[in-house]
Structure 1
Amino acid sequence: MKVLVTGAAGFIGFHLTKRLLNDGYQVHGIDNLSDYYDVNLKYARLEKLKHDRDFSFQRLDLANRDGILQLFRDHQFNYIVNLAAQAGVRYSLTNPHAYIDSNIAGFVNLLEGCRNSNIQHLIFASSSSVYGANTKIPFSVGDSVDHPISLYAATKKSNELLAHSYSHLYGIPTTGLRFFTVYGAWGRPDMAYFKFVKAIVEDKPIEVYNFGKMQRDFTFIDDIIEGVVRVMTKIPTANTDPALNSKAAYKLYNIGNNNPVELLHFIEVIEQLLNRSAIKTFLPMQPGDVPLTYADVDDLMQDVGFKPETSLEEGLFQFVQWYCEYYGVPHQNNLSIVDNKVLI
């Protein structure tokens, strides 16, 4: 079985590729290695993968129409997992064209490749951001998501619409995954948890938006990967999702921890793990941000028998351990987690 993983040098793509290789799949990874964040981290991830004989990689941008066309000529994939995208809500305010090129034009190029190939299943990353300022909680895939409040969210909603149309027109079995605030080892430096740890160990202030009155459904990377792997072989058929009122072989799932956490508690756990106090700068809500995310994962549990359950304490413990080792930061080696509490 051969899997195409787009964004293979990215945070989620790296972890998924590693898991698929361990499970015995052949993986072909592509990534444009953009400089949106530290490219050296992307190369370090690839270094961890390149020695596996079942892994191949090429530098390729989804927006490269001819390159994607040639990719599908050169390979026959059983599964495609699209994780390549221009990420970030705030970055979209100043760099809108990067999102249109990668998340819209690039995604259409991928769909065209699928249309002309005999793939078994296309899985693509969506985002909890599509829910916008939804006040109905928890967020369900049957909720209306017609009012995105950031360009990033609009492109992710567009992906869902484009994927559905191709699934309907060409019979491509397709599943979209709405990820909720993913964190963990080898994570993205632009994410809040990464910035918090970096600033705290460097005795620099951290920016706390909405004056700390935020809640996020933080989801540990291992739980995200488990969900993706289980969904990958759960191939949808026509009429499998009555909530979407669709006859296409198309499905949507939330993958979230189903447990919103207050931002100030999140910071407090990091402080305990580092045995240092954060210097907090409280700021108002930023454009495009939402005060709360909260995933309804009943469908995921029902269809694939899995729901994320890694505690925040355990997940952050693993991230802090990785961060300190990767960046050579002195840290406590005798930390442990008991009953979801940090022991030093």
Structure 2
Amino acid sequence: MLHDHRLLSVKGQRLDGKWGSVHSTALLEKPDAASALYNELVAAEVCEALRLATEPRTVTPRRRPVMQIAGVPHELIRWTSRRSDQIAACLEDLEHEYVTAVDDDGEPKFLPVVSERARAKLNRIAARKTRPSKQSARPLAQLRAWWKASAILTSEVAADVITSLLEYARAAAAAIRARVAAVVDVALAAVDVAATVFVMNDRGRFHRRHLLAEARRHLALVLRGRRRDPGLDDGIVVAAISTHCLDISGRFPASRSSTSAPCSPARWCARNCAPPPPPPCEAGRTTSSPISRRRCPSSCSRPSRPTPSRPTPSTTTKSSSPAAARRWT
């Protein structure tokens, strides 16, 4: 029910015991994988300490489900998500403005369908616009008493369920653990992870960090709050890369923001779905393609386009005009 944040320091301890700055570029490239790991570990610790389990819940239609504590009524979750309702209402208005926006000539400024990237940006704007002012801090005991009384009065959930919520959640967890085995099929997980990442990423191209984040989400869905063996997420990624992915790093030049490893990792796509190689270009000429603009090296063996020869006075019709005479002299 609580909203929490994870604070990471840019200082880290090296293997020799000394402290230094973390490679922030490499860290900021992997927010999805780090977030999935944090959610997975927090859920496992809570479920292990309180003998609970997790289950998937669809929050937004046609979007991936989120993991919640099993046995908690959906009405009670909706009662605690009033902030989400405010953001969703504002987001709907922003998306309507996005698809109906026109420029000075009356032409649409954006695509008629909101992309994932645009929706994420609009969601951040909606969160800022609807953010309430911060309240003064209060003791936890006072907050818990107020939450319980408010839930009984306004959540439309039976009072005995709210009072005995932990017992209801433990009963649901026992039923889930009796029905769902704590076994992970690495080969099947690799198929699911590779397929999901291929569909979710633009033009089917992705990095290893995308596979790692999806592998951790898959483990959270399968294990339902159980702890996993260390390195199991990496094992799924290795199986997905070796079986279902193709390295296409050489087909695309590194971006100007990427320098050296690990900031410029390999790029992958699903097997049998590799993009075509860049179109051939003429020696010494810059080519435009959907992928990039590149220049052939000086040692390119492709024949160059013949340069049109400049007309000479011997090959042109003489003119009696003095200007024409001066032009060729």
Q: Max radius of gyration: which structure? A: 2
More helix by share: 2
More strand by share: 1
- TM-score past 0.5 threshold: no
**Given the two structures, how large is their TM-score scaled by the length of structure 1?**
0.21
**Given the two structures, how large is their TM-score scaled by the length of structure 2?**
0.22
